[in-house]
A and B are shown apart, each in its own frame.
Chain A
């Protein structure tokens, strides 16, 4: 591209003095705009990834708090085993999501601190009877707390797209 521009300018001869500055301005402007849109597209992709991670966390957490192992039947034992797996997945997902949000914040919005929102998410997802071995049924009261805490993170992310 640069060779073509130089060739074009040499062909213009003396007129190049007059038209070179505007051409340079247009090229620099185009590069700045392209850089801006590439950055916006990358940010948008990252926000999509973070929103997906958040959705997966909510799905697994809601499943966890829906499990019933209040009895002594075979299904209760199966649910308890499933809960043991979900507990570790949920803890890992919260830690990974927190790391990813910190990286996102460093790259695109240094003034936004996701920590208070992730404190709410962690408290909602892994508080109270989480990881306790007591027999228990589903905790439906917790569903809304989890969903609302996750929504607050999601809206903070989507606000960046607007």
Chain B
């Protein structure tokens, strides 16, 4: 199982949805980190600890975008994706990730 630690592998200060919002946006994390790992590995663990704080827009784009862009179904992500945290305040972000995945619907034509 591959583990991606956002704070060390990506950024301690991820922000925004789109490439125009900055270097460490949700689209880039999805396309360059999550998607390659999820397509080549059986299971992927994402460690969300030690980041200064997440905007919901980043989490929605990075994780909910996997379903919206038609890369994976909600059911497939439940089997493949494991969101990990150790510090209790990050439980909220774990719950947000699954909320956005659960609420995401594939865009038309995807």
Contact = CB atoms under 8 A, between A and B. Distances in A.
Interface of A: 87-88, 91-92, 94-95, 98-99, 102, 115-116, 118-119, 122-123, 125-134
B53 A92 contact: yes
Contact of A102 (B17, B53, B55, B88): B88
Contacts of B54: 91, 126
A81 to B, nearest CB: 15
Contact of A132 (B17, B52, B53, B96): B17
B31 interface: no
A102 B56 contact: no
A134 B25 CA distance: 14
A159 B88 CA distance: 23
A49 to B, nearest CB: 17
Contacts of B93: 122
Nearest to A98: B89
Contacts, number: 68
Could you tell me the dominant secondary structure of chain A's interface residues?
helix
B interface bracket (residues with beta carbon within 8 Å of A) = 20 to 34
Contacts of B17: 131-132
A131 B57 contact: yes
Given A102-B88, A123-B56, A133 B95 contact: no
A35 B16 CA distance: 48
Contacts of B52: 91-92, 95
Contact of B55 (A115, A126, A133): A126
Contacts of B20: 132-134
Nearest to A117: B92
B99 interface: yes
B21 interface: yes
Contact of A123 (B16, B89, B99): B99
Contacts of B89: 95, 98-99, 102
Contacts of A92: 52-53
B10 interface: no
A119 B55 contact: no
Contact of A122 (B18, B88, B92): B92
Contact of B92 (A98, A125, A130, A131): A98
Given A98-B92, A115-B95, A133-B21, A122 B56 contact: yes
Contacts of B47: none
Contact of B91 (A91, A115, A132): A115
Given A87-B15, A119-B99, A123-B99, A132 B92 contact: no
B21 A126 contact: no
A125 B59 CA distance: 13
